[in-house]
Amino acid sequence: MPRKKSYITATDQFCGAGGSSSGATEAGVEVKLAMNHWKLAIETHNTNFPKVDHDCADMSAVDPRRYPTTDILITSPECTNHSLAKGKKRRLYEKDLFGNILIDPAEERSRATMWDVPRFAEYHDYNIIAVENVVDAGKWVMWDSWLHAMHSLGYEHEVVYFNSMFAHPTPQSRDRLYTIFWKKGNKKPDLEFRPKAHCPRCLKDVESIQTWKKHLKWGRYKKQYFYRCSSCHQEVTPYYYAAFNAIDFSIPSTKIGDRPENNKLVPKTIQRIQFGLDAYGRDPLILTGKYTTGIGSRVRNALSQTIPTQTGEAAHGIVFPWIIDTAHTQANGKYVYPSKNPMPTQTTRQTLGVVSAFLSKAYGGNAKPQNMGVGLHQPTGTITTQDHHALIEAKAFLERASLVQYLDSLKVEDLYYRMLQPKEIGKAMAFRENHIVLGNSKEQTKQYGNAVTPPVMKMLMQRCIASLG
């Protein structure tokens, strides 16, 4: 139906904490309506977007005619089959003593289905529809039938497989599937994204091209596809933000050896911390200064000057953090991540912990995490001066022998450990600093874990808007 206005409007069908709305708004879209069946999610969204109309309702039970029509529909429905993103088979609904089904209201996606997309599209005839889902949605038994339903309504589509770590500044590896629909006859959006990368053969920054390992275009970064240089076809790694950009080192941590008896870490967690200590904690490369050019918080090849920046304010402590995932039970190595890498995918549970080792006495001073200066997420220039940089680099080289000896003597009991806090999880999801998520820690984590990373939605919406002319 015709729309006589000069701005683009959108409906956020599954608004959650507001990740999609944040990205769309930053792209210049006016979000007119946000819906969700979880009251807390609606309250969170309304807190951040007070001018948007909100409705707390079960999407599968409402009549699409109840809502105004917008140009764009943004939605994140749940696929009805098993999803690997949940880490386990979906359990059947629990029942109370009277046989009534108990539904956890925090399981946001459980009541919005893929079929709500064509149902709403049939009435509202949106110009653009953006559907976000886990990668495994592409293996859904009804996937082809679902696409056929949309084609029957007059839409064409393209599926985008993208990892959020390449939508700056998201410091998290988060593979997702984005299905973009547009009306037949309208201009096709340009959905080929070429993140910047440094090519070791061309010796310059280049546009990278997504390249599939097999003919089937489905999957995750590194497993099913990689990026290559647009000039020489050399495999490259696009620039990304590292995990330590999300870590706030001003938050107190507890020394593992000082934890009370009733709060000791479980053996599996201890094993993973030991693995991290062996794999990353004793790596003196974080102090070699091999890469000393100013790259800010962006990671190219190593921790480079980001680690000296952290210690430059105090000039007496060195921190080398890594992340462990406490939710899994498989081999240790798969669930320990150095902080120079992007953070693992955030789920709806609070399972990511940060481990830090602090070098004290060698340079003097207090080594407690809360006294280690400002967080690594802050820009270099706001933390310390060039003189502090020089002092740290000089100390690192002059005291290298004693440093390596100290690192070799570290034990798990000497390290500090704590779980990532909701604010840090919000940074890992690339929400803006002033974004408010309501609820307790568990509820905030669930909302963040279910959210869409705003930079990806912004990126998609910018391309979609351009196609509408």
Residue 429 within any structural domain of the chain: no
Residue 4 within any structural domain of the chain: no
Q: 267 and 228 in one domain? A: no
Separation CA 463–CA 425 (nearest Å): 27
Phi, psi of 354 (to 5 degrees): -110, 135
Tell me the CA distances in angstroms from 415 to 130, 285, 319, 355, 358, one per residue in order.
Answer: 44, 19, 10, 7, 7
Q: 210 and 148 in one domain? A: no
* Last residue in a domain, options 174, 204, 238: 238
Beta bridge partners, 394, equal none
**pLDDT grade for 91, boundaries at 50, 70 and 90:** very low
State how far Cα 59 lies from the chain centre: 26
pLDDT value for 266 = 83
What sign does the CA torsion over 265, 268, 269, 271 have? positive
DSSP assignment of 399-446, as one string? THHHHHHHHHH--GGGSEEEEPPHHHHHHHTT--TT----S-HHHHHH
Q: How do 128-133 and 72-75 pair as beta strands?
A: parallel
**pLDDT grade for 106, boundaries at 50, 70 and 90:** very low
Residue 425 within any structural domain of the chain: no
Q: 75 and 156 in one domain? A: yes
pLDDT value for 419 = 79
Residue 213 within any structural domain of the chain: yes
pTM: 0.75
- Alpha-helical segments (H) within 197-336: 267-276, 306-312
Tell me which range, 92-101, 307-316, 319-328, 460-469, is most confidently predicted by mean pLDDT.
460-469
Residue 435 within any structural domain of the chain: no
State how far Cα 184 lies from the chain centre: 33
Letter for the amino acid at 41?
A: A
Separation CA 173–CA 178 (nearest Å): 16
Q: 269 and 210 in one domain? A: no
* Helix, strand, or coil (residue 197): strand
Is 82 a residue whose pLDDT tops 50?
A: no
Residue 390 within any structural domain of the chain: yes
| Radius of gyration of the chain, Cα coordinates, nearest whole angstrom | 24
Q: 414 and 402 in one domain? A: yes
User: Which residue has 């190593």 as its token pair?
Assistant: 302
Which of the residue ranges 210-219, 393-402, 412-421, 435-444 would you say has the lowest mean pLDDT?
Answer: 393-402
Count up the domains in the chain and report the number.
3
Between 461 and 90, the higher pLDDT residue: 461
pLDDT in tens, 333-383: 456 555 556 656 666 665 666 655 543 222 233 333 333 322 232 222 212
Q: 113 and 55 in one domain? A: yes
pLDDT value for 277 = 74
Which pair of tokens denotes residue 89?
A: 């088979």
Letter for the amino acid at 99?
A: G
What sign does the CA torsion over 280, 282, 288, 289 have? positive
Q: 451 and 397 in one domain? A: no
**pLDDT grade for 244, boundaries at 50, 70 and 90:** confident
State how far Cα 146 lies from the chain centre: 27
**pLDDT grade for 449, boundaries at 50, 70 and 90:** confident
Mean pLDDT calculated for residue range 371-396: 24
pLDDT value for 141 = 85
Are 38 and 60 spatial neighbours (Cβ–Cβ below 8 Å)? no
pLDDT in tens, 146-199: 999 999 999 999 999 999 999 999 988 899 999 999 999 999 999 999 999 999
pLDDT value for 5 = 61
Are 19 and 451 spatial neighbours (Cβ–Cβ below 8 Å)? yes
Contacts of 330 (CB under 8 A, 6+ apart): none
**Closest by Cα among 283, 276, 297, 318 to 417:** 276
Q: 319 and 176 in one domain? A: no
| CA atoms lying within 13 Å on the CB side of residue 55 | 17
pLDDT in tens, 254-269: 888 888 998 888 888 7
Q: 172 and 202 in one domain? A: no
Dihedral of CA atoms 251, 256, 257, 261 in degrees, nearest 10, equals 100
Tell me the CA distances in angstroms from 449 to 17, 85, 445, 446, one per residue in order.
Answer: 9, 11, 6, 5
Phi, psi of 275 (to 5 degrees): -60, -45
State the average pLDDT for the chain.
74
Separation CA 426–CA 441 (nearest Å): 12
**pLDDT grade for 278, boundaries at 50, 70 and 90:** confident
Residue 427 within any structural domain of the chain: no
CATH number at residue 53: 3.40.50.150
Domain range for 43 is: 9-192+440-468
Which pair of tokens denotes residue 296?
A: 């800010």
Q: 129 and 19 in one domain? A: yes
Which pair of tokens denotes residue 241?
A: 């933000």
Q: 457 and 308 in one domain? A: no
| CA atoms lying within 13 Å on the CB side of residue 211 | 15
Are 160 and 120 spatial neighbours (Cβ–Cβ below 8 Å)? no
pLDDT value for 107 = 43
Q: 410 and 269 in one domain? A: yes
Residue 424 within any structural domain of the chain: no
Between 424 and 272, the higher pLDDT residue: 424
Separation CA 211–CA 221 (nearest Å): 10
Separation CA 253–CA 244 (nearest Å): 15
| Residues 217-255 as b or e (16 or more Cβ within 10 Å = b) | eebbbeebbbbbbeeeeeebbbbbbbbbbbbbbeeebee
* Last residue in a domain, options 204, 238, 272: 238
What sign does the CA torsion over 233, 239, 243, 246 have? negative
